[in-house]
Chain A
Amino acid sequence: MNPKLIRELQNLLGRDAVLSAREDLLLYEYDGSVESARPDCVVFPSSTRDVSEIMRLAKRFETPLVGRGAGTGLSGGALPRAGGIVAVFARMNRILEIDAESRRAVVQPGVVNLDITRAVAHLGLYFAPDPSSQKSCTIGGNVSENAGGPHTLAYGVTTNHVTGLEIVMPEDGRVVRIGGKSAEPLGYDLAGLMVGSEGTLAMVTEITVRLSRAPEAVKTLLAVYDAVDDATESVVEITRRGITPAACEMLDGWTLRTVEDFVHAGFPRDCAAVLLLEVEGLLEAVDEQAAEISEVCRARGAREVRVARDAHERDLLWKGRKNAFGAIGRLSPSYYVLDGVIPRTRLPETLRRIEEIGRASGFRIGNIFHAGDGNLHPLILFDPRHPGEFERVVAAARAIIEHCIAMGGALTGEHGVGMEKNELMPLMFTPEDLTLMGRVRAAFNSDGLLNPQKMLPLGKGCGELRVLPQSVGSALPA
């Protein structure tokens, strides 16, 4: 990287806010995905003004620029695929305002997702989107990827909880505020466009989020099955009856045993699948819905339906769910978490298909996912030290994603496209769709310096920076 750029960045931010030594950069070449890409330089802005100046420097030196929160993303969204500068938002982590009456908080992008809830819990409020990584992931990353989580089934994903943004434009570092505390857009819904744009249109420096009222009552149920089909059929029936649980998660038997060995949550070790269900709201509604869900699960073959007796039991069940990936990490040198969506009624056949693909490819595929909204997370275990294995994993993953699309589903439900699936976009979109999306990116990010080579297929982007991706070898986790 141009040493003059590094010097200018140091002058702007101070020496302690700029990393360029190789050993320092190593920390930033991964995120939660199986990809990697090394930045040439990492900077830590402290203010919107800093971000604006960094943007101007990137433009002047024609250097790619990528935003990064906690680096927990699962599609390579925060990886600098074409090198350049990574701007880490760790120092922009203040909650600027809490407006309890309007149920809004104004926060900086580096605020950790769960810290928003912690800051407003005493007011009986919380921030609804709850990705599994919520203890570490940041709201800036959530906004970029339009993150989800188990409870988005009833409450929607990040985009449904963001009403305003302050953004910095790539062409000249200009700061623009879009939306506000109101949910009613005045003019085109630019906030709706920005959320989920994967950091390819502008850099977000401030976010106005909607806060939800904590429910009066919560009930958490665990339905235990001896056959996967019975579990998936239960989900179909719950959906069909118009019951909307706050969350409806499924874990298959193998995943469950692995999790249980790790967290000791009291999950049964001898079942084929469990559904972890939660209902929230008024006492009356919660009681009725819990009863109806139990009835459906039993009628569909659940051998047991447990109801968490208190907050401790509930937390334990959720701890199992939220730490599942960590538990599996203890067993396998590496794993690939997929993210695909199907119409909910197609769950039974889809899980059977995933099992077939696992058998045919010789990989263990675990299933732990948001069953209620058809958002699958097949988890393929593999060993990157075996030559050719990663390529076979990618092929198996592709077969699963192709099945999702064939069912009328989508490429990604919450992890984003990033550099993981940008070449799969034509499975879902026509050349005309992609051309239009390319025009959108070019109109906001005309030099293609902001998060290049993400979301759209390479060679499709107007104004896309033409830099070859790093070699496949370096994309493998060590």
Chain B
Amino acid sequence: MNQNPSGTQVARLEQLLGGARTITDSASLAAYEIDGMRPAAAVRAADAAEVAELVRLAAAEGLAVIPCSGRSKLAVGGVPARYDVALDLSTLNRVISYDPGDLTLSVEPGAQLEDLQRELGRHGQFLPLEVAFSERATVGGAIATNAYSPLRTHFGSARDFVLGMEFVTGLGEIAKSGGRVVKNVTGYDLHKLLIGSLGTLAVITRVHFRTFPRPAERRVFTAEFGTARAALEFCSEVAASALEPWALELLDPGAAEISRLAAQSGGDARGWRVVIAAAGSAAVVERHARDLERMAREAGAARVEAWTGAEAARCLRAIREFARLVLERAPGATIIRIALLPTSSAALAERIAGIADSHSLDAALAIGAAGSVGTGYVALWPRSEKRAEASGTSAVAASASSADAATDDETASLAAAVKEVLESAVSDGGAARGFVEWCPTALKRRIPLWGEAREDFVLMQRVKQIFDPRGVLAPGRYCGEL
């Protein structure tokens, strides 16, 4: 399957970038493994020009390149069709320009999000990208995976605050689209195509963001309900009210346990929980407190609590790190990300426990922007799976290795359960809009991670052809094995 590159090809890489920036020893390369596939080399590029040279060399030699930086989300995506070179962008991590007065920021893909947030924080600003694996997550990875951030409820996703990008196509062209100003309609918005494309179209070398002012205050509210229906009704009411929560997440009992939210707030282990972040001036936060308390009581909440400081931060962390906490609990978990309309949220919430039960699986469900058009995360794992050692950053590696451990039967149940989950969350157009974000390699080989091809697939193939006609970049990893 994977025709390893010859020694000459590796030598050419070394010649291009110098030995120091070309990693070929097998122990170091283990860190770049994807679905059990190890590249022949990992290389570090210093700038866009080097990335371009490397991609051109790869194109000429027929090598497959997968870009990465923090490597916290390398397990997301299909099994690579080929994987010769890991292009490690973690040293391409400079802030190119930051103009706090203008609330704009240009940064390289390897920049760590936490470092960046600290820098922005010094100027009273932030990026609404609060994604999982926070201490490793980089700008490039968060954009390339279109990583979920609970702040979407208020700020939208990356497509709403990325102003432009510079990138290197699969032909090694250095190109850009958009710009650095907050309003701009010049030319095609090519950068939007790169968001969530898992590196299959181009290597991102620079991202221009709009930044946002930090609120004077942040407070988190949790409300516990006996049933999914009551919790969802509350969410709908909040969504329809004048309130402007920054995050509004619904957690089923499984998710509340995994996120340790149940432990933090006590209450009934079988309760459904709604987590709401409010931000703004003291008066605005107070208004949220008043209205949310009243609305939650009226909706039949068993308990309503408000959190500030470290406890509020812990609640927010719990929802942003959902995928990671699941993978720590059950390294072989399958995590589906689904676009939900209010009607499909209700259907999914009602059926999730039954689906899991019928396949002897455990489940956890979290819905962001619940009550309106939101994003659902469904995690499923074999009930037999032992509780993993809480090991933080090794979750991904653990996930890959546990893939081998899963039995055929377990994989078959997971495949069946994924199908049922997607069927229960039918959205507009008569089909669910969801994909399997995390799962064991065995399941990746068994089901199409993005579901059956849709009528727009032919256009996606066309897009891939435009950017990467030779299939150099992350072949096989995206929707429909693009």
Contacts and interface: CB of A to CB of B under 8 A. Distances in A.
Interface residues on A, range: 35 or more
B283 A288 contact: yes
Given A187-B479, A188-B463, A285-B281, A156 B175 contact: no
A182 B101 CA distance: 34
A104 to B, nearest CB: 7
Contact of B459 (A176, A343, A375, A430): A176
Contacts of A182: 339-341, 373, 427-428, 433
B121 interface: no
Given A101-B343, A190-B456, A240-B101, A443 B465 contact: yes
Contacts of B243: 282
Contacts of B116: none
Contacts of A187: 450, 454, 456-457, 460, 478-480
B182 A344 contact: yes
B428 A181 contact: yes
Contact of B373 (A183, A193, A440): A183
Interface in A349-383: 370, 373-375
A164 B193 CA distance: 15
A444 interface: yes
A290 to B, nearest CB: 13
Interface in A168-184: 176-178, 180-184
A180 B99 CA distance: 36
Interface stretch (B195-203, B378-386, B389-397, B399-407): B195-203
B190 A413 contact: no
Contacts of B287: 282-284
Contacts of B100: 240
A205 interface: no
A189 B195 contact: yes
B375 A184 contact: yes
A408 B435 CA distance: 39
Contacts of A455: 187-188
Interface residues of B, number: 83
Contacts of B180: 343, 408
A186 B450 contact: yes
B227 to A, nearest CB: 19
B455 interface: yes
A255 interface: no
A245 to B, nearest CB: 13
Contact of A413 (B183, B187, B433, B478): B183
Contacts of A189: 159, 192-193, 195-196
Contacts of B427: 180-182
B159 A184 contact: no
B104 interface: yes
B375 to A, nearest CB: 6
A412 interface: yes
Contacts of A193: 188-190, 192-193, 463
B242 A215 contact: yes
B174 interface: yes
Contacts of B435: 186
Contacts of B102: 239, 343-345, 374
B372 interface: yes
A433 B191 CA distance: 12
B246 to A, nearest CB: 13
B354 interface: no
Contacts of B115: none
B434 A186 contact: yes
B462 A443 contact: yes
A35 interface: no
A265 B13 CA distance: 69
A236 B100 CA distance: 11
A180 B176 contact: no
Contacts of B451: 186
Contacts of B476: none
A184 B450 contact: no
A176 B456 contact: yes
A91 interface: no
Given A189-B195, A281-B244, A285-B281, A196 B99 contact: no
B267 interface: no
A180 B283 contact: no
B31 interface: no
A376 B281 CA distance: 31
A414 B99 contact: no
Given A101-B236, A240-B101, A409-B181, A188 B342 contact: no
Q: Closest 3 CB pairs between A and B? A: A242-B213, A192-B192, A182-B339
11 contacts: A163-B373, A176-B455, A183-B339, A187-B480, A196-B188, A196-B189, A208-B428, A216-B242, A413-B183, A440-B188, A455-B188
